[in-house]
Amino acid sequence: MFDLDPFRPAAADIEIPAVGIGTWHMGEDGSQRAREVEALRHAMKLGFTHFDTAEMYADGGAEEVLGEAIADSDRDTLFLVSKFYPWNADPDAMLASCAASLDRLGIEQLDLYLLHWPGDVPFEETLEGARRLMDEGRIRAFGVSNFDEDALADLADRQLLDLVAANQVMHNIPHRAAEAGLFPFMAEREIAAIAYSPLEVGPMRQIDGLEDVAEEAGLTLAQLAIAWHVSLGLAAPIPKSANKAHLDDLAAAVRAAPLPPAMMQAITATAPLPDPGTPLPIR
């Protein structure tokens, strides 16, 4: 485990580890399954305890990969997150989706269960499903994903944020829109932020001067991205890799944080905050 302060949302008695590992694209190619399982086990050995998946990823295949990887682990040491489709957001469908996810993961309870993106099911019904899942002990906490500030503000106006413990959104050095309004809004209400696609190494290479900052720090661009996230402390990044060497690099980057203030300022100088109102990127 890493010596980092967890995120503690107001809506649930949970502690979200400050950095995790995602599983997007895992489970899509059966020939890679053993490699993916071993990579996730290696991540646990390095100190990662927060793992993120979704019923959408490989139609549940990623959940199966993660389930195999954690089968012999101490469940109490892990923080496991999955997400459900918007069209499964009514109470009955939520219970069925959650049951299927738990079965694929081989566990009895999720630490956090997220609505993958806004949909057409009335949020009041989704909250009813979340309450039923919590009452039955199938999930410890509920949250959302890909909700921008306007969407959360609408829920706040309707007094529907009481169970929302976290919001998972795209956030990285090339795409900092969440910092302009969404993250402050969430912080005021103690809603934890989780950052998917936290690396974006390709777009990072297009930012003039950023590679020089990484070189000065003795880090790769991917390492710089993770060290920046941990130093910023606004959201828990969940990078994904099925490569052991890459995971070693990511763990080293976590331990390299916090970056010196001058280096954080240099990153902002090369990748400044966008104007307020910049749309939240979704992937």
Q: Which sequence positions are flagged as catalytic? A: 57
Burial code of 220-259, b = ≥16 C-beta within 10 A, e = fewer?
bbbbbbbbbbbbbebbbbbbbbbebebbebbbebbebbeb
Cross-strand bridge partners of residue 139: 110
CA–CA separation, 116 and 67 (whole Å): 20
> How far apart are the C-alpha atoms of 9 and 174, rounded to whole Å?
26
Rounded to an integer, what distance in angstroms lies between the CA atom of residue 220 and that of residue 106? 36
Burial class (CB in 10 A: 0-12, 13-18, 19+), 4: middle
3-class secondary structure, 232: helix
| Two structure tokens written together for 167 | 């919001």
| Distance of alpha carbon 138 from alpha carbon 109, whole angstroms | 4
Largest CA distance in the chain: 54
If one counts every other C-beta atom within 10 angstroms of the C-beta of residue 272, the result is 9
C-alpha torsion sign, points 183, 188, 193, 199: positive
Element (H, E) at 205: helix 201-205
